[in-house]
Amino acid sequence: GAVVSQHPSRVICKSGTSVKIECRSLDFQATTMFWYRQFPKQSLMLMATSNEGSKATYEQGVEKDKFLINHASLTLSTLTVTSAHPEDSSFYICSASGGTLPEAFFGQGTRLTVV
């Protein structure tokens, strides 16, 4: 199946700094990418949907100024957590879809710890 690479897998940052997470589709053109957040022992929460070349569509309750999403090409989307705080610590997962297959393909996830 298609491969989605997410980087970094783990990151620890100081409170107040910004962190960028990359999501790349390696062997297909991802017209749409999704960013999810997963709290411990809970389900996935969709944060935003991004289409290549357009502004991301954020779900209700997600701060667009805090979670900056860029989808500049058909193979790369980035999520930047700005001015991170300990409550932003979580597992972030991207997924990408494109082509004729109905399913989305997921990155490996990024464990963010803000200290």
Partner 1 sequence: GNSVTQMEGPVTLSEEAFLTINCTYTATGYPSLFWYVQYPGEGLQLLLKATKADDKGSNKGFEATYRKETTSFHLEKGSVQVSDSAVYFCALSEGSRDDKIIFGKGTRLHILP
> Which 46-65 residues touch partner 1, going by CB under 8 A?
46, 49, 51
Q: How far is CA 2 from CA 26, 101, 107, in A?
A: 8, 10, 11
Report the amino acid identity of residue 42: Q
Closer of 1 and 86 to partner 1 (Cβ): 1
> For partner 1, which stretch binds (CB under 8 A), given 13-21, 37-45, 64-72, 80-88?
37-45
- Asked whether position 40 contacts partner 1 by CB under 8 A, the answer is no
Q: 59 — alpha (psi -120 to 50), left (phi > 0) or beta? A: beta
Least distance (Å) between residue 103 CB and partner 1:
6
> 13, 44, 68, 76: which one contacts partner 1 (CB under 8 A)?
44
Quick one: DSSP state of residue 15?
T
Q: How many residues bind partner 1 (CB under 8 A)?
A: 26
- Asked whether position 97 contacts partner 1 by CB under 8 A, the answer is yes
* CB-based contact 91:107 (threshold 8 Å): no
* CB-based contact 90:39 (threshold 8 Å): yes
Number of other CB atoms surrounding residue 108 within 10 Å: 13
Closer of 88 and 107 to partner 1 (Cβ): 107
Chain residues that interact with partner 1, rule: CB under 8 A: 1, 6, 31-32, 34, 41-44, 46, 49, 51, 93, 95, 97-100, 102-109
